[in-house]
Structure 1
Amino acid sequence: MSTATVQKQPVPYSKDTGTVYNILFIIGLCHLLNDSIQSVIPAMFPILEDSMGLTFTQLGFIGFALNMVSSVMQPVVGLYTDKRPMPYALPIGLTFSMLGVLGLAFAPSFITILLSVIFIGLGSAVFHPEGSRVAYMAAGKRRGLAQSIYQVGGNSGQALAPLITALILVPFGQFGSIYFTIVAAIAVAFLVYIAKWYSSRLQDLQPTRKQQTTNKVNSNNSSITKAVRNALLIIIFLIFARSWYGSAISNFYTFYAMEKYHLSIAESQIYIFIFLLLGAVGTFLGGPLADKFGKRNVIIVSLLATVPLTILLPFVGPTVSLIVLALIGLILMSSFSVTVVYAQELVPGKIGTMSGLTVGLAFGMGAIGSIALGTLIDFIGLTPTMISISFLPLIGILAFLLPTDRTLLEWQKGK
C-alpha cells in the first residue's frame, strides 16, 4: 500500500468548532491534580529511605512499579478507546488513584507500598490517553497550544513534588499522603463534568458508517508504513533520552545535592522544584512555538541545546547549578507536548493510541530508568552516575531523521 493511500483515512473529531478554552483549562487542571498525586511517590523517597531503611534499588522498584503499570496500560487504553470512546473512564480512573493514595498512607511494608502504587499507576494509565483525546477534541485548529495547555498541567503537578516533601511529608511523614485523597476527590468531580461534555461532543462528531468502515479497512491493512515506522522508532529513542535524564534528576538529584552541597531534605527539594517548574513552563511554550516554527524543529532544539548544560551541571557549585537546572528544564521539556502532537499527526485517526504510546512510553522509559539508575548509584555512586547521564540528550541528533512538518501534511492530504 502506498504512503499516499495509507494516509487518507479520516481523522476523528476533526469538525472545527473553534478552540474550547474552558474545557482545555479544566482538563489541564485535572492533569495537574492527577500528576500531583503521582508526584507523591518520588517525593516520598527520602522519607521512605529514612523511616523504612529502603535501598536505592528498592526505591527504584517503587518508581518502576508506578511508571511501568502506567506505561504498559496507556497504549492499551488508547487503542481500545479509539474504537470505543469511554467518557466516564476518566472519573473512574481517578477513583483508582484515590484508593491507591489511601493505601499509601497506611502501607506498613515495601510490598504494600508497591500494591498502592500500582493502583495509582492504573488510574494514571486511564487518565492520560483519554485526557489527551479531550484536549484534541477541544483544540480546534490550535493543536500545539491545546496539547501544551493539557500537558503543562501534568508538568506543574510533577513540579509540586518538592513542595509536597517540604510542606507535608517532612512534618507529617508517610501518613501525610492521606491529604491527597482530597486532591483526588476534587479531580473526580471535575472529570464528571468533563465526561458529560465529552459524551455530548461524541454525539455531534460520531463518524458515519462509511467512515467507520474505511477506518476498519485501513486498520486491517496496516496503516503504518515503513516511513512511519522508522519515524516512530526515532521518537522512541528521543523519548528514551529525555525520560532517562528527567528520571535521574527528579528521582535522585535530591540525594546528589544533599551529598555534594551538604543540604537538608527540605533544602535539596528546591533544586528539583526549579527543574520541574521550569520544565512546566517549557512544556507550555513548546506548543505555540511548534505551531509557529514547526514541531520537528522544536524537538531538535529541545534536546541538542541542552547538551552543553547537562554536561556542565555536575561540575558547578550550588548556586550556578540552580540556574543550569532551570535552563535544562525549560529547554528539554519544550518538546514534551510537541512529541505527542507530532505522533498524532504521524498516524492520523489514532489519537488515543499515539497519546498512550508517547506519554506512556515516557512513563515506561522513566520506570526503567528509575530502577536502572538506582542500581547504578548503588554500584558506582551518585557523582559518576550524574556525569554518565549528562550525555543522554546527544541522542537528539536522531531527530534530524524525522519527516518534516510539510511531509506530514502532504501525507495527510494524500499527495
Structure 2
Amino acid sequence: MKSKAVVERAAPSYPQTYLKVLLALSLTHLTNDMLQSVVSASYPVIRDNLALTFGQIGLIAFVYQVCASVFQPVFGVLFDKKPRTWYLTLAIISTATGLVILAVAHSIFAVILAVAFVGLGSSITHPEASRLTHYASGGRHGLAQSIFQVGGNFGSAIGPLLAALIIAPYGQEYMLVFAAIAVFSILTKRPISKWNRRRITDMQSKTVSKTVIHRVRLRKKQIYYSLGILLILIFSKYVYTASLSNYYTFYLIEKFDVTTQHSQLFLFAYLFASALGTFIGGPVGDRFGRKYVIWFSILGTAPFSLMMPYANLFWTCVLSIIIGFVLSSAFSAILVYAQELLPTKVGLISGLFFGLAFGIAGIAAAVLGYVADHQGIEAIYRFCAYMPLLGFVAIFLPNIKPQRIKKG
C-alpha cells in the first residue's frame, strides 16, 4: 500500500505582515468592486433607457462576467512570471475607459463594449491584488485575505447605494462621475507600488531567503481531488449570488412593487451584510481551519435561501441580510485553502478562482435572464434557493494545515 507523499513547495519568506500595504490593497479592491457594482446596479436604468429585455440584460451581464473571468488565469500566470508595479494602474485605466463609454452609450453594442472594458479592469485587478495580498500577509493568509475581501465587499455594497443616489435620479450620463473617481484612485496605489518595487528588487537580487517549506501531507491526486471539490463549491456559491447581484432589484420591483431607488437600497443592505461577514472567516480559518468555515458558510445559507422565495418584503430583506452575512466568508476561505495547496502558484490560483467565480456568475446571469423572460423573475429564486445545499461536499475536503519549516 502506498504511503502518503509529502508535497513540498518552496516559497519566499516574508515574516512581516505589511498592514499598510494590506489596507491599500483592500482600498484598491473597494474601488474596483464599487465601480463594477455601480454598473450592475444601473442595469434597470440602462434597460429603461434602451428598452432592453431581461435576456439582453443577461447578455450584457454575460459579456461583462466573461471579460472579467476568462483572462484572469492568464494574467495570474503572467504576474507570477513577470511581476511589474504598474499592473494595477493599467487595470483602473481600463475600468475608467469603460465607464466613459457607458456614460454616452445609446445602443446595446456600445453598452457591451463598455462593460467589456470594465470587466478587463477587474480581470487584471483581482489576480494581481490577491497575489500581492498573499505576499504581504506575513503568513497570516486568512487574515490578509479577509482584509482584502472586506474592501471588495464594502465596495460592492456602496456601488448600488451610489447608483441609487446618482445614476437613478440623474441618468446614465453621470457614469462620468465614477470614471473621474477611477482616475483619482490611481493615487491610492502609491504605497502598493513602493512596497512592490522593493519586493521585486529584493527577489531579483536574491536578498529574500527562500527557506520556507510549505508541507501539505497529501498525494498529488488528493490535491487535484480537493481542487475539484472547491470548484463545486465555487459553482454553488456563484450561481446563487448571481441571482442576487444581477436580479434582486428586479425581483423586488416586480414582486413587491417597490421603486428602483428602494430596490437598490435593499441591495445595499444585502451587500453591506456581506461585507460585515467577510472579516470573520479569515481569522477563524487561521485558527480552526478553512474547511469548517467553507462548510458552514455555504451549507449554512441553505435554510434561509429556501425560505426567501416565500417571504414578504420585510422578511425578504431580513433573510437576504442573513444570507449575505453567512455566505460572505466562503470565497476567501476557498481561495486561501487553494493557495495553501499550491503555494508557489499564487497568481495562477488567484486568477483561476476569481476567473471561475466571475465566469460562473456570467453564465448564470445569462441563463437566469432567459428563465426570467420565459418563466418570470420569481422562478429563478425558487430554483437558485437549492444551490447552497451543494455545500455538503465540503465534508470531503481533507483537513490541512501546511507546516512552515525553516531550513538552514
TM-score w.r.t. the length of structure 1 is 0.91
**Hey, what's the Cα distance between the residues in 2 that align with 1:398 and 1:68?**
26
Separation (CA, whole Å) in 2 of partners of 1:247 and 1:390: 12
Q: 1 CA distance for matches of 2:257 and 2:85?
A: 49
Contact map agreement 2:24 2:191 (CA 8 A) in 1: no
Counterpart in the other structure of 1:372: 367
Amino acid of the structure 2 residue aligned with 1:381: G
Partner of residue 276, structure 2? 281
In the TM superposition, what are the counterparts of 1:253-402 in structure 2 within 5 Å?
Answer: 253-402=248-397
Contact 2:36 2:118 in 1 (8 A): yes
Say if 2:159 is the partner of 1:161.
yes
Q: How far is 1:45 from its partner?
A: 0.8
Contact 1:100–1:116, Cα closer than 8 Å, also in 2: yes
- CA 1:412–1:269 in structure 2 vs 1: closer, same or farther (change >3 Å)? farther
- What amino acid is the match of 2:174? G
Deviations along 1:254-309, whole A, 9 cap, x unmatched? 11111221111011112211111111111111111111221010000001111110
Does the 8 Å CA contact 2:95/2:182 hold for their aligned counterparts?
yes
Alignment of 1:8-407 (within 5 A): 8-12=8-12, 14-16=13-15, 18-206=16-204, 225-406=220-401
Q: Is the Cα–Cα contact under 8 Å of residues 101 and 120 in structure 1 kept in the other structure?
A: yes
> Residue 342 of structure 1 aligns to which amino acid in structure 2?
Y
Tell me which residue corresponds to 1:218: none
Over the aligned positions, Cα root-mean-square deviation in angstroms equals 2.4
Task: Describe the superposition over 1:307-364 as per-residue Cα deviations: whole angstroms up to 9, x where unpaired.
Answer: 1100000111111111111110000111121111111001120111111111121111
- Structure 1 residue 208: deviation in Å? 5.0
Q: Which amino acid aligns with 1:15?
A: Y
Query: How big is each residue's C-alpha offset from its partner over 1:179-238, in whole Å with a ceiling of 9 and x where there is no partner?
Result: 0112211222222441221111122244859x99xx9xxxxxxx9922111111111111
Deviations for 1:147-169, whole angstroms, at most 9, x for unmatched residues?
11111111111112321221011
For residues 203 and 2 of structure 1, what CA distance do their matches in structure 2 show?
Answer: 41
- SS of the residue aligned with 1:4? coil
Q: Is the 8 A contact 2:14 2:136 kept in 1?
A: no
Partner amino acid, structure 2, of 1:4: A
Contact 1:3 1:225 in 2 (8 A): no
| Structure 2 CA distance for partners of 1:3 and 1:85, relative to 1, 3 Å | farther
Distance 2:71 2:9 in 1: 26
Tell me, yes or no, if the aligned pair for 1:34 and 1:187 is still in contact at 8 Å.
no
| Runs of 5+ consecutive residues of structure 1 not aligned to the other structure | 216-222
Conserved 8 A contact 1:79-1:352: yes
CA distance in 2 between counterparts of 1:44 and 1:52 reads: 12
Structure 1 Cα separation of the partners of residues 398 and 267 of structure 2: 34
Distance in 2 separating the partners of 1:65 and 1:19? 37
**Are 2:371 and 2:379, in contact at CA under 8 Å, matched by a contact in 1?**
no
Percent identity over the alignment?
39
Q: Deviations over 1:126-156 (max 9, x none)?
A: 1111101221121113211111111111111
Higher helix share: 1
- Rounded to whole Å, the distance in 2 between the matches of 1:207 and 1:251 is 47
**Aligned counterparts of 2:309 and 2:196: Cα–Cα separation in 1:** 47
Aligned partner of residue 71 in structure 1, secondary structure? coil
Preserved contact between residue 38 and residue 160 of structure 2 (Cα < 8 Å): no
In structure 2, the gaps of 5 or more residues are none
SS in 1 for 2:250: helix
Q: How many aligned positions are there?
A: 400
